[in-house]
Amino acid sequence: MLDTSVVVEALLPSEPGHVACVAFLRRLTASGCLVVFNRLLQVELHETLFNVALKERHGKRWASARYDGRVRRRAGRLLEAGAGAWSELLDSLAWSSIDLSEVVEDVPKLMRSYDAPTMPCTPPVWGRLGSAIWPRSTTASPRCHKHV
């Protein structure tokens, strides 16, 4: 199971885990093992790239500048590059994706039984697929450590 954090760190050269995540993807490619991801990964990747454009222009005030139209041109270029990079990654991997509609009905129940998991962690996906998808991969996240 591939987490968004691994893809973000691999695609953005300024991220602290960039080298490790690129090496990890290289190993995945060489081993030919199956990568499973949640479709939310793509949405999160797009959101992150848009935030990059905001941070480039507004620095620490980026969160309050969300609707500044001046960032859209740069954001568009980043989104285009990101979509191309993601497509190239998929060309090199054996992959399968899980759509939100497949797991969404189980989310309320699982959110009660797990320790307030975040949606990107998608324990419902793990639960449904069970041992078919082990091992999964993610960068460190205190909120998610119980599920890793």
Partner 1 sequence: MARMGAVTSKVDRQRSSRAGSVTAGGTRNGRGTDSARESLRTRIHAPRIADVDERIANIERATKRIKTDVQVDFVRTRRGRR
- Kindly list the residues in this chain that would bind partner 1 in the complex (CB under 8 A): 4-5, 8-16, 18, 22, 25-26, 29-30, 32, 34, 36, 48-49, 51-52, 55-56, 62-63, 78, 81-82, 84-86, 88-97, 102-103, 106, 118, 120, 126-133, 139-143
Pick between residue 22 and residue 111 the one whose CB is nearest to partner 1.
22
Pick between residue 14 and residue 69 the one whose CB is nearest to partner 1.
14
Pick between residue 2 and residue 5 the one whose CB is nearest to partner 1.
5
Question: For residues 146 and 96, what is the distance between their CA atoms, to the nearest angstrom?
Answer: 24
Pick between residue 60 and residue 69 the one whose CB is nearest to partner 1.
60
What angle do the packed helices 18-31 and 4-11 form, to 10 degrees?
110
CB of 135 to partner 1, least distance (A): 14
CA dihedral 84, 87, 91, 96 (to 10 degrees): 170
Give the burial class of 7: count Cβ atoms within 10 A of its Cβ; 0-12 exposed, 13-18 middle, 19 or more buried.
Answer: buried
Pick between residue 94 and residue 146 the one whose CB is nearest to partner 1.
94
DSSP 40-67: HHHHHHHHHHHHHHHHHHHGGGGGGGTT
CB of 34 to partner 1, least distance (A): 6
CB 125 within 8 A of CB 103: yes
CB of 35 to partner 1, least distance (A): 10
CB of 24 to partner 1, least distance (A): 10
CB 117 within 8 A of CB 123: yes
The amino acid occupying position 62 is W
CB of 111 to partner 1, least distance (A): 14
